Amino acid sequence: MNRRHALRHIALISGGLALIPSCDFSKEDILAAYENLKITATQKALIAAISDSIIPAGEIKGALDLAVPDFILVMVNDCFTKENQEKFTAGLEAFPEYAEKTAGKKFADLSSKEKETFLLQGLAVTGDENTSEGKLLAQVGYFLSSVKRFTIQGYMVSEYIQTEIIPYSLIPGEYNGAVLIADIQKTRVNG
């Protein structure tokens, strides 16, 4: 074997061995679409599961069908202050532990009725900021209330709701002074 080839192979192998410890394959990739948030695909799926539990699909489309989880993350990324983004992210990271400790199972393993009651309990929880347990509860409560608020907002302003369920009219309608109030039909609010 040529001495130059042997030295080149040794240099390549030692350079590769030096780079291997710096490669961390254990962490999940962070989604690049959100500049200020460090959200992983698993966390986005958790937000999707929570929003789907808040507004599930039935006779009309649910929150998951209308891409409400993306709306939630965009609103948190663009409209929250840095402090509120940190509180949201801390609550998002603490939520799986809270769910497992409170419900005894992972959130994804709960039935739809159990998810509903669990989320109602989580929205009602308040914590004392002075203790670590209280801080965890306050973060989870803030996270859940933010997700609920943005789920409802994103759902109600979606194109599907505004065009097919509650048709949006830019102008309230034509004026007809001869119509009795008793004859006026109410709009379908719930589909």
Helix (H/G/I), strand (E/B), else coil: 21: helix
* Amino acid of residue 138: A
> What is the pLDDT at residue 47?
94
Rounded distance between C-alpha atoms, residue 63 and residue 68, angstroms: 5
Which pLDDT belongs to residue 82? 93
- Convert the pLDDT of each residue in 152-163 to its tens digit: 999 999 999 988
Q: Global pTM?
A: 0.73
Q: Do the beta carbons of residue 82 and residue 36 sit within 8 Å?
A: yes
| Three-class secondary structure of residue 40 per DSSP | strand
CA-CA distance, 11 to 5, in Å (whole number)? 10
Quote the strand ranges of 19-73, DSSP E: none
Task: Kindly report, residue by residue over 65-116, the tens digit of the pLDDT.
Answer: 999 999 999 999 999 999 999 999 999 999 999 999 888 889 989 998 999 9
Whether the pLDDT of residue 167 is over 90: the answer is no
Q: What is the pLDDT of residue 183?
A: 67
